[in-house]
Amino acid sequence: MSFSRREFVKTSAIAFGAAAVLPSWVYEAQAAGAALFDENKEALADAALATAKRLGASSADIRINFYRLEAVNTRERQVLNVSSGQNYGFGVRVLVNGTWGFAASPLVTAAEVQRVTTEAVSIAKANAPYQKKKIELVPTPKVIDKWSTPVERDPFTVPADEKIATLLKINEAALGVAGISFCQSSMAWVNEQKYLATSDGSRIEQYLIRGNPSFSATAVNRASGDFQAVNSLREAQSIGFEYMSKHDWVAEAKTAAEHAVMKLKAPSVAPGKYDLVLHPSHLFLTIHESVGHPTELDRALLWEANYAGTSFLTPDKTGKLQFGSKIVNLVADRTQKLGLATVGWDDEAVPGQEWHIVKDGVFVDWQTTRDTAKLIGRNKSYGCLHADSWGSVPFPRMPNLSLQPAKENVSQDDLIGGVENGILIYGRGSYSIDQQRYNFQFGGQTFWEIKNGKVTGMLRDVAYQSRTTDFWGACDGLGGRSTYEIPGSFNDGKGEPGQSNAVSHGCPVARFRNINVLSTASSANAGQMEDDQ
């Protein structure tokens, strides 16, 4: 038996009085593979698509989506915030005279669907006279199906007090370390229930879950006015509440706290050239910024020129440009287990799939959507269209993009063993890269000096700066499958209006030779100098 979402809301107050947090329809829907959040959705979708066609749209789609967000934030021994949010609405996208139009509303009613569809067409028609080159789409097969994120324990069934207790234990472990003054921790859980109907006849329901637990331990030396923090190394994943027991967050918090205290006394790095050994908790973001964004086809087509920027890669370099050393293989994959961008289908009914972006060091392919693929002569899309809300225009977003591990069983110590003068870096720190993705500078959470094949002690204030192809060309060692992790970014911004995307970058530990390292403590002091030249 299924309820409409409105019926759910009306009955949920009663359900809250019982032990179960959610009404039965949610569990039934999960069991079925996706939630049935509005029994009228098919009729509403049919009406929208028929109206769009009648008003002149050559293609149209409607997304009727329901989102839930639960967040808990704590600091030290107190809870700062526990929140539960819900968001429901629909968006209609139309293609009229080769011009896109879009409109969206939270009122999911037959009358509003008519009004919004008409508005989307009006917007397209108002802009069409200035459309110099018409938008065209590559075809995609019709599909009627359901898909859901595989989870062991739906976080939305876990009571708030269990979530709070989990975080306070993390804080307690950090605060138990002498010298730690503060510890903040949080967890955020997102559930997307998405219904997509297209004028090609596709009808898709998806039930997606992802979670983002994190903490930060801070050590303060009040006498000297110094402070240092270490954040959790684990990142967001598409996973249920089992994430909180599969990883030992309490042990990690204690270690992080010890490292924050050590960092106060650690020597600042001496700027210069070093070999770098990069742990997956750090390397994933370097992959994201230096490989993920420049291989987005919309950037190469100048569509992001006004905001995130373009790319040093252009379509004529496909299959030709030496992106990195021959051991570098980077694979896009929207089917990867635990991947934040893993889906059954994208937001225009193209299936999740896997393909090489960099093969044996050569740049070989792009991230595409139905409209961008057409512009480089392709006949299919790789399925990278995404909207972060029912109210957002879907546009090209990054799939999971992962560095492949070595086939041999190479350990982190094996890679360190081959370094005379280097630095081992853990964790996501400060990151900045230019608008065409050439020049980047990345920091981390903890930094360890390597001398003659051994880790000898902690450093601080480390950032490395390089040029994308130089950096990947300097990759001479990859860890094996046993060093592989799948960290990800919960909020990746792009586009105008700005939208957020969640995306993962699996990778092993990896080694890069002779990279420029600077000290963030000594490189930012212009303004205290006596003279400027």
Partner 1 sequence: MMLTEQETKAFTEKILSFVKADDASAGVGSDKLMHLRFAGNNILTSGSRVSRSANVTVWIGGRRGAASTNDLDDASLNDMVERAQKIAATAPVDREYVPTLGKQEYKPTSGYVESTANLSLTDRAKAIGSIISECEKQGVIGAGFHATRVQAGGSTTKNGNFEYERSTNVSLSTTARTSDGSSSGYFLRSHFDTAKLDTKRIANEAIRKAVQGKGARMIDPGIYTVILEPQAVADLMGNLGFMFNARNAEEGRSVLSAPGGKTKLGEKMFDEKVTIYSDPWNAELPGSQSAQGGIPAQRITMVKDGVVENLTYNRFWAKQKGKEPTPGPVNTIFQTSGPTHSIEDMIKSTERGILVGRFWYIRSTDARTASSTGLTRDGVWLIENGKIAYPLSNFRFNQSVTQMLGPGNVLMVGKSERVGGSEGGGSNASLLPALKLKAFNFTSQSEAV
Q: Provide, rounded to whole angstroms, the least separation between the CB of residue 425 and partner 1.
A: 14
Cβ atoms of 324 and 475 closer than 8 Å: yes
Burial class (CB in 10 A: 0-12, 13-18, 19+), 467: middle
Instruction: Tell whether residue 110 is a contact of partner 1 (CB under 8 A).
Output: no
Among 25, 156, 395, 490, contact with partner 1 (rule: CB under 8 A) = 395
- On whether the CB atoms of residues 137 and 371 are closer than 8 A, the answer is yes
- Token code pair at residue 118: 């008409």
Q: Is 32 in the site for partner 1 (CB under 8 A)?
A: no
Q: Is 491 in the site for partner 1 (CB under 8 A)?
A: no
Does residue number 97 form part of the binding site for partner 1 (CB under 8 A)?
no
Question: Of residues 463, 475, 502, 517, which one binds partner 1 by CB under 8 A?
Answer: 463
Local structure of 457: helix, strand or coil: strand
Q: Are the C-beta atoms of residues 460 and 254 closer than 8 Å to each other? A: no
- With CB under 8 A as the contact rule, the residue among 2, 105, 157, 335 that binds partner 1 is 105
* Count of residues engaged in binding partner 1, rule: CB under 8 A: 104
User: Is residue 191 part of the contact set for partner 1 (CB under 8 A)?
Assistant: no
Q: Which of 45, 151, 301, 515 binds partner 1 (CB under 8 A)?
A: 301
Q: What is the CB-side half-sphere exposure of residue 480 using CA atoms within 13 A?
A: 8
Integer distance in angstroms from the first to the last C-alpha of the chain? 76
- Least Å distance between CB 256 and partner 1? 16
Contact set for partner 1, span 33-52 (CB under 8 A): none
- Gap between the Cα atoms of 286 and 522, Å rounded: 23
Pick one of 32, 47, 123, 137: the residue that binds partner 1 (CB under 8 A): 123
Q: Which of 79, 264, 321, 458: binder of partner 1 (CB under 8 A)?
A: 79
Among 3, 25, 37, 88, which residue interacts with partner 1 (rule: CB under 8 A)? 88
With binding defined as CB under 8 A, does residue 114 bind partner 1? no
Q: Interface with partner 1 includes 306 (CB under 8 A)?
A: yes
Chain positions 237 to 296 lying near partner 1, rule: CB under 8 A, are: none
Among 3, 25, 37, 102, binds partner 1 (CB under 8 A): 102
Q: Which of 122, 157, 353, 514 binds partner 1 (CB under 8 A)?
A: 122
Query: Which of 124, 331, 364, 385 touches partner 1 by CB under 8 A?
Result: 124
List of residues 6+ apart from 4 with CB closer than 8 A = 37, 38, 39, 40
Out of 1, 19, 111, 130, the residue judged to bind partner 1 by CB under 8 A: 130
Pairing of strands 272-278, 421-426: parallel
Q: Pick left, alpha or beta for residue 461 (phi over 0 → left; psi -120 to 50 → alpha; otherwise beta).
A: left
Stretch that binds partner 1, among 118-126, 201-209, 338-346, 349-357 (CB under 8 A): 118-126
Burial of 373 (0-12, 13-18, 19+ CB in 10 A): buried
CB nearer partner 1, residue 346 or residue 414: 346
Residue whose tokens read 């373009």: 310
Instruction: State in angstroms the smallest separation of the CB of 527 from partner 1.
Output: 4
533 forms part of the interface with partner 1 (CB under 8 A): yes
The per-residue DSSP string of 255-302 comes to HHHHHHHHHHHSPBPPPEEEEEEE-HHHHHHHHIIIIITTTBHHHHTT
Region class of 195: left (phi > 0), else alpha (psi between -120 and 50), else beta: beta
Q: Compute the C-alpha angle 138/144/148, nearest 5°.
A: 105
Q: Is 18 in the site for partner 1 (CB under 8 A)?
A: no
CA distances from 238 to 149, 242, 332, 337, 338 (A): 7, 11, 16, 8, 5
Dist CA 40 CA 122 (whole Å): 25
Smaller CB distance to partner 1: residue 310 or 404? 310
Binding of residue 3 to partner 1 (CB under 8 A): no
CB-wise, 113 or 338, nearer to partner 1?
Answer: 113
408 binds partner 1 (CB under 8 A): no
Residue 20, interface with partner 1 (CB under 8 A)?
A: no
> What are the b/e assignments for 9-45, b being 16+ CB within 10 Å?
eeeeeebeeeeebbbebbeebbeeebbbbbebbeebb
Q: Segment 501-530, which members bind partner 1 (CB under 8 A)?
A: 516, 518, 520-521, 523-529
The DSSP code sequence of 2-40 is ---HHHHHHHHHHHHHSS-SS-HHHHHHHHHTS----TT
Residues 428-457 contacting partner 1, CB under 8 A: 430-439, 441, 443
Binders of partner 1 in range 157-176 (CB under 8 A): 159-161, 164, 168
Site for partner 1 contains 178 (CB under 8 A): no
- Does 196 bind partner 1 (CB under 8 A)? Our answer is no
Q: Is 144 in the site for partner 1 (CB under 8 A)?
A: no
In the complex, the smallest distance separating the C-beta of residue 482 from partner 1, rounded to whole angstroms, is 32
377 binds partner 1 (CB under 8 A): no
**Residue 375 phi, psi dihedral angles, 5° rounding:** -75, -15
Which of 156, 150, 86 has the alpha carbon at shortest distance from 389? 86
Tell the smallest beta-carbon distance from residue 359 to partner 1 (Å).
25
C-beta of 359 vs 460, nearer to partner 1:
460
* Shortest reach from residue 75's CB to partner 1, in Å: 9
